């Protein structure tokens, strides 16, 4: 149905000509789900934009053909391409906030797409828009159809984007990270919807994602992309059971889960190389544990290895005998009961006792408080030194609000009741120097490191700021020594201290955020989705780092996440939250292995799993 032949995309950048996609070849059949996976910056989204002819102004297709059912899309005039775009090929974009028009109601936007690409008009088009809002799980669709995008959560906006795309009933769908912003239960609902549509309409689907578990459950064929090139193509079952490329092998070993709990994850060293440079050999060779001497000087071809399998690696060249040694095993990490100095039965470091967080709902011209909204209701938790308590649940259930209340970020914004006892001291009652002392002991790592780091401050200034405020006894020399030690501990060189946040990758920025939290030597860190925006390999590096620091320093974590695989790997205890309340808590293996509450069972049942695991 869709045939891509030698597609190359180039971008004009300050650093030079960026070859974002280099000689890409794919063939996708009608009704097939084809997954395109890889790390950030490898060219996945640029491939999708090229297929839709939506490249940025500084980009162009340098070479290749894109045929949809025999029609060369790159040769069509723009007037004809408008009928194809949205009508025959639909696209779900990764960021719904920038894809929806902020000044139009969501119903108007869906109706616009329906009227542009189907015969329906007026009331009939609106009825179909309402039907699609129901199908994608928007609550109160009769009312929400007349809402503006800003009134909706990120997950709801993504569902509106999906409804708008699918309402035109395209023959082929490009889905760029369609479920990244969604809870696992809504994710499962959307993926089931896509499967149903494929069965009904024999719709082809190009699924772009970094979630390998979603790929395992959805795709028939997988293509792994690295530095602008396809490096492995295989049927999904074969890819997960027996990957051929060293990068694919390492990527699968980087996935967290209960089975890898006692070992560090396979963290791939380095980053994806910049695509403006010239490559004289294999692009993965500098990061490859299996690299041979000639890998740096021999450009590998994409080789057929039988069936629908292809791999770009010199180990599979004619006459070569692929002898991939097992990836090196690193020393096992200790569990809580094995870590020195950790008493699993000790008194809790932090104890939440009947915590309530209520936000005022204001109305009228004078914005008087109309009522109070219970964001967190009657929550009681315990976190012990040197251990990790995972707080899980759907978006909006109160996880982040609980974390912010603990670190005193909601004072003056909400009505807080109950107690948060840190070694017997109620954090909600502390003032002045006592509160300042408590802030040294409790720190937070935010979900989005780019938004939480001041873009006008260099890394050294970012790390020194907390020390100046909370460790005034340290002189300039002691602060510098502490900061240099921290940057090395989190895997950043000293040269990073003179750079700004925008000069780093997402994973590196998260390392800076971790260093900032550790700078004042806290005893408890609230980790609010610290790996949700990261690639699998970078996530592995961060999780390994957090466990190593916990083992060395005895720091405790309140780990807020929706990733159950991460919970299985890092948590000692887990608490499940629904509607602001804790519905179940206990040891991680007990809660996840034999959940007692129906909500926990539903949550775990919706989690995608690798077919081979």
**How many angstroms separate the CA atoms of 449 and 455, rounded?**
11
Rg (CA), the chain: 26
In CATH terms, is domain 350-361+370-453+522-605 a member of 3.40.50.300?
yes
pLDDT exceeds cutoff 80 at 300: yes
What pLDDT is attached to residue 339?
47
Q: Is 374 exposed, middle or buried (0-12, 13-18, 19+ CB in 10 A)?
A: middle
What pLDDT is attached to residue 344?
55
**How many angstroms separate the CA atoms of 555 and 383, rounded?**
11
Q: Model-level pTM greater than 0.75?
A: yes
DSSP of 168-194: T--SEEEEESTTTTS-HHHHHHHHHHH
pLDDT exceeds cutoff 90 at 139: no
DSSP of 396-419: TSSHHHHHHHHTT--TTTSEEEEE
Q: Is 119 exposed, middle or buried (0-12, 13-18, 19+ CB in 10 A)?
A: exposed
Instruction: Say which residue the tokens 């720190």 belong to.
Output: 443
Instruction: Give CA torsion, residues 68, 69, 75, 80, to 10 deg.
Output: -90
Q: How far is CA 66 from CA 39, 48, 263, 274, 440, in A?
A: 24, 11, 44, 26, 57
**How many angstroms separate the CA atoms of 524 and 556, rounded?**
5
Q: Is 123 exposed, middle or buried (0-12, 13-18, 19+ CB in 10 A)?
A: exposed
pLDDT tens digits for range 261-290: 878 888 787 778 888 888 989 999 998 888
Can you name the residues that pair with 525 across neighbouring β-strands? 443, 557
DSSP of 281-310: S-TTGGG-TT--GGGGT----EEE-STT-E
Q: Per 3-state DSSP, what percentage of the chain is helix, strand, and coil (rounded to 5)? A: 40, 25, 40
pLDDT exceeds cutoff 90 at 126: yes
What pLDDT is attached to residue 372?
87
**How many angstroms separate the CA atoms of 41 and 210, rounded?**
12
pLDDT tens digits for range 173-199: 999 888 776 778 888 888 888 888 888
Cβ atoms < 10 Å from Cβ of 325: 8
Task: Name the band, by pLDDT with cuts 50, 70 and 90, for residue 468.
Answer: very high
**How many angstroms separate the CA atoms of 138 and 160, rounded?**
8
Average pLDDT, rounded, for the chain? 87
What pLDDT is attached to residue 322?
55
The more confident residue out of 490 and 245 is 245
DSSP of 515-527: HHHHTT--SEEEE
User: Residue 123 has which token pair?
Assistant: 């009331």
DSSP of 342-410: --TTSPPSEEEEEEEEEEEEEETTTTEEEEEEEEEEEEEEEE-TT-EEEEE--TTSSHHHHHHHHTT--
Q: By three-state DSSP, how is residue 487 classified?
A: helix
pLDDT exceeds cutoff 90 at 108: yes
User: Residue 495 has which token pair?
Assistant: 């040269």
Q: By three-state DSSP, how is residue 25 classified?
A: strand
> Domain spans of the chain?
97-166, 350-361+370-453+522-605
For the residues 365-384, what does the mean pLDDT come to?
87
End-to-end Cα spacing for the chain: 32
pLDDT exceeds cutoff 70 at 61: yes
Percent of the chain beyond pLDDT 70? Answer: 94
DSSP of 209-273: -S-HHHHHHH-SEEEEEETTEEEEEEEHHHHHHS--SHHHHHHHHT---GGGTTS---PPPS-PP
| 393: nearest Cα among 545, 528, 510 | 528
pLDDT tens digits for range 530-584: 887 677 888 888 898 889 889 988 999 999 988 888 999 999 999 999 999 999 9
Check: CB of residue 350 under 8 Å from CB of residue 421: yes
């Amino acid at each position: 149905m869709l045939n891509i032949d030698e597609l190359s995309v180039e971008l004009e950048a300050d650093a030079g000509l960026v070859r974002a996609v280099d000689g890409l070849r794919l063939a996708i059949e009608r009704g097939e789900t084809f997954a395109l996976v890889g790390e950030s910056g490898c060219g996945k989204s640029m491939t999708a934009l090229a297929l839709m002819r939506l490249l940025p102004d500084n980009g162009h297709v340098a070479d290749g053909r894109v045929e949809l059912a025999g029609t060369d899309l790159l040769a069509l005039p723009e007037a004809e391409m408008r009928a194809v775009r949205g009508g025959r090929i639909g696209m779900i974009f990764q960021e719904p906030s920038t894809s929806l028009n902020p000044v139009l109601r969501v119903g108007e936007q869906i109706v616009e797409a329906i009227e542009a690409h189907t015969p329906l008009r007026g009331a009939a088009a609106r009825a179909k828009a309402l039907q699609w809002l129901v199908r994608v799980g928007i609550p109160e669709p009769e009312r929400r159809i007349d809402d503006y995008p800003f009134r909706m959560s990120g997950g709801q906006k993504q569902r509106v984007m999906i409804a708008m795309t699918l309402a035109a009933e395209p023959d082929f769908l490009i889905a760029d990270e369609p479920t990244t912003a969604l809870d696992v239960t809504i994710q499962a609902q959307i993926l089931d919807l896509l499967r149903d549509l494929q069965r009904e309409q024999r719709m082809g689907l190009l699924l772009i994602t970094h979630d390998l578990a979603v790929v395992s459950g959805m795709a028939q064929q997988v293509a792994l992309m690295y530095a602008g090139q396809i490096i492995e193509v295989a049927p999904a079952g074969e890819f997960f059971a027996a990957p051929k490329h060293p990068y694919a092998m390492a990527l699968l070993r980087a996935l967290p889960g209960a089975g890898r709990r006692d070992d560090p994850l396979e963290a791939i060293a380095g980053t994806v190389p910049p695509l403006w440079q010239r490559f004289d050999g294999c692009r993965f060779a500098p990061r490859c544990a299996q690299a041979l001497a000639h890998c740096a000087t021999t450009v590998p071809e994409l080789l057929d290895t039988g069936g629908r399998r292809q791999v770009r690696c010199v180990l599979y060249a004619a006459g070569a005998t692929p002898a991939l040694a097992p990836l090196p095993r690193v020393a096992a990490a200790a569990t809580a009961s094995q870590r020195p100095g950790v008493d699993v039965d000790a008194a809790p470091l932090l104890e939440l006792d009947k915590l309530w967080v209520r936000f005022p709902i204001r109305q009228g011209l004078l914005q008087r408080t109309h009522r109070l909204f219970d964001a967190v209701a009657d929550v009681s938790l315990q976190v012990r030194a040197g251990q990790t308590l995972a707080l899980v649940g759907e978006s909006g259930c109160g996880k982040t609000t609980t974390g912010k209340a603990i670190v005193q970020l909601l004072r003056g914004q909400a009505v807080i009741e109950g107690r948060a006892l840190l070694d017997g001291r109620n954090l909600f009652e502390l003032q002045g120097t006592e509160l300042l002392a408590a802030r040294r002991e409790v720190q937070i790592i935010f979900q989005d490191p780019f938004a939480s780091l001041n873009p006008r401050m260099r890394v050294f200034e970012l790390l020194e700021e907390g020390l100046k405020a909370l460790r005034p006894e340290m002189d300039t020399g002691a602060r510098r020594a502490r900061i240099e030690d921290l940057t090395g501990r989190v895997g950043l060189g000293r040269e990073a201290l003179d750079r700004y946040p925008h000069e780093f990758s997402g994973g590196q920025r998260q390392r800076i955020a971790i260093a900032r939290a550790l700078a004042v030597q806290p005893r408890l860190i609230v980790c609010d989705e610290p790996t949700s925006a990261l690639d699998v390999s970078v996530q592995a590096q961060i999780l390994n780092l957090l466990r190593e620091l916990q083992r060395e320093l005895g720091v405790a974590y309140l780990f807020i996440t929706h990733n159950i695989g991460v919970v299985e790997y890092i948590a000692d205890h887990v608490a499940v939250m629904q509607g602001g309340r804790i519905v179940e808590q206990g040891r991680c293996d007990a809660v996840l292995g034999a959940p007692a509450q129906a909500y926990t069972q539903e949550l775990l049942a919706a989690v995608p799993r690798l077919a081979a695991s």
